[in-house]
A and B are shown apart, each in its own frame.
Chain A
Amino acid sequence: MAKTMETSQSQTERQTNGTGSNEKNIVYKTKELNLWYGDNQALKNINLEIIENEVTAIIGPSGCGKSTYIKTLNRMIELIPGVRTAGEISYRGRNILDKSYEVEELRTKVGMVFQKPNPFPKSIYENVVYGPRIHGIRDKKILNEIAEKSLRGAAIWDEVKDRLNQNAYGLSGGQQQRLCIARCLAIEPDVILMDEPTSALDPISTLKVEELMQELKKSYSIIIVTHNMQQAARISDKTAFFLNGEVVEFTKTTKMFSKPDDQRTEDYITGRFG
């Protein structure tokens, strides 16, 4: 166990040096993060750095703590009673686990797309402008502009532009998910967290969302949890492999899927377990 920790740490360091990242383009820096659900420890000594305008994929078998970790990044985890954390996650240089960091402020910078599309039972338009509205924008013209820009950004504008006032529940699952991405873009976030965003979608919708991510990473940093190895390989720049609440390996995706350092990583991605 202690040895694993060491390797993963040294890997992180090597990684950091290898890509030539500096403090400026580091979005998230997780240091020695531990997390418990009651007495059950779900995350153990996590050390990870997320770099600007990259897609970081998180893979690992079911129950290894991927969702837990990604939900910690926007403190959504606090909604679950009995959760305790130790360690530090600094977002743009400030520790978000510090209680003086207002979650509402954090979540304006860090958008989230959930596993199941979860539009509000409102019109398509109202869904997109929900975020801007709660942050105080009332001007109809500005709201319209945001709505169009976000829907275009999520590659769904052409499909919905003639039915903006219809209920979002009338959209297909794939359209709903892209609407949720648009809703997330509307708050003009810095980072987008995605927890298995395509697991409820058909292959064509999945492809559309994947293409979208390639487009989005030019302006946003994306962290995505996925069970789909091909997806991780296709879309991400870096990949973190989680196992039993620990980071086994965190490195460039190309390296991860060609010659991983750790035997367990290789076993997992070649489908020998998990």
Chain B
Amino acid sequence: MKYIDDRKVISTMKPRMARNMIFRSLFLLATLFGLLVLGILLYRILSQGLGYLDLQFLQSLPSRRPEQAGVYTALIGSVWLMAVVAPISLFLGVGTAIYLEEYASKNVITTFIQINISNLAGVPSIVFGLLGLTVFVRALFLGTSVLAAGLTMSLLVLPVIIVASREAIRAVPKELREASYGLGATKWQTIIRIVLPAAIPGILTGAILALSRAIGETAPLVVLGLPLFVAFLPKTVFDIFTVLPMQIYNWTSRPQEEFHALAAAGIIVLLSLLILLNTIAVFIRNKYQKRY
């Protein structure tokens, strides 16, 4: 006796196809919803801010008069912040990931560390702001300097970098490690010549996510007490400064309509910076991306 009746299969074909179509449309709608919101957002920002976006806007200091105000100090401040956050968080994050994956023996303590790193990734950014305020700004007397903000932001993005780097390192086939060890390579030689080159695309993906977050975060910096108005550029990492999201936040909280347009223009600058960052990462990634 056959269990699958051909006639029944044919008769149920229509409703099965219909259900398939329904779900297909449902998921397409879900995708379109996201795209639509993104589109509206971009349209609003571009239509509002594009008119104010010119070379003068990029080169001007902040001002109380909207027609003279610019993002110069904030833009340079954001670049300074990145210059501090990128090396510190990458070194600490990738270093931790290498230690946990390659050197540490798998025991209760490393499992405990692992779980806590994942937990840290979920801690609200404002809490990191409080930590930075207590430790860097007050206890270490760094004030609201580039360094204090940079260290705070590094801590904030560290879990993301660690988790992404560990996954990337773990994804490197163990056969490649064995081949290297089998030729008499030390652990470090294997890491630097085999594991890291193969893991770099994954590590970079994590790093970009992390840095994009750091460049856009406002809450922890507000908690640190970063000034909303800075009319000069930092000369060292110990100087006070401000960043793009702070400047945008400042402008949106003003009552005048012009300042809202300025905020939109500031957002365009911020988004461009993000795209630039991503493009660099894609380039590096393509350079290293090899199948294995």
Contact = CB atoms under 8 A, between A and B. Distances in A.
Interface of A: 74, 76, 79, 81, 103-108, 111-112, 114, 116, 118-121, 130-131, 134-135, 167, 169, 180, 183-184, 187
B8 interface: no
Interface in B268-292: 290-292
Contacts of A183: 179, 183
Interface of chain B: mostly helix, strand, loop or mixed: helix
Nearest to A116: B175
B182 A121 contact: no
Given A108-B184, A111-B183, A130-B193, A79 B290 contact: no
Contacts of A180: 179
Nearest to B174: A79
A48 B194 CA distance: 35
A130 B198 CA distance: 15
Given A81-B105, A134-B189, A167-B290, A105 B179 contact: no
A131 B194 contact: no
A107 B175 contact: no
B176 interface: yes
Contact of A105 (B181, B184, B198): B184
Contact of B184 (A118, A167, A187): A187
B182 A112 contact: yes
Contacts of A118: 173, 175-176, 178-179
Contacts of A76: 178, 181-182
A121 B183 contact: no
B209 to A, nearest CB: 24
Contacts of A81: 105-106
A74 B182 contact: yes
B176 A120 contact: yes
Interface residues of B, number: 23
16 contacts: A107-B182, A107-B184, A118-B173, A118-B175, A118-B179, A120-B176, A121-B198, A121-B290, A121-B291, A130-B193, A131-B183, A134-B180, A134-B189, A167-B290, A169-B292, A184-B183
A58 B185 CA distance: 27
Contacts of A104: 184-186
Contacts of B185: 104, 130, 134
A169 B184 contact: no
A116 B183 CA distance: 16
A125 to B, nearest CB: 15
A106 B181 CA distance: 11
Contacts of B183: 107-108, 111, 130-131, 134, 183-184, 187
B100 to A, nearest CB: 15
Contacts of B173: 118
B291 A169 contact: yes
B174 to A, nearest CB: 8
Contacts of A167: 290
B254 to A, nearest CB: 54
A157 B18 CA distance: 60
B178 A79 contact: yes
B169 to A, nearest CB: 15
A130 B184 contact: no
A273 B152 CA distance: 66
Given A104-B184, A131-B183, A184-B182, 5 more contacts: A120-B180, A130-B180, A130-B183, A130-B193, A187-B184
A114 B292 contact: no
B176 to A, nearest CB: 6
Given A76-B178, A180-B179, A121 B292 contact: yes
Given A114-B179, A121-B198, A134 B193 contact: yes
A81 B106 CA distance: 9
A114 B178 contact: yes
A135 B178 contact: no
A180 B176 CA distance: 11
Contacts of A184: 182-183
A169 B189 CA distance: 22
Interface-centre pick from A118, A130, A135 (highest chain B CB count, 10 A): A118
Contacts of A105: 184
A170 B185 CA distance: 25
A169 B173 CA distance: 14
B287 to A, nearest CB: 13
A141 B106 CA distance: 43
Contacts of B181: 76, 79, 103, 107
Nearest to A78: B181
Contacts of B179: 114, 118-120, 180, 183
A192 B179 CA distance: 13
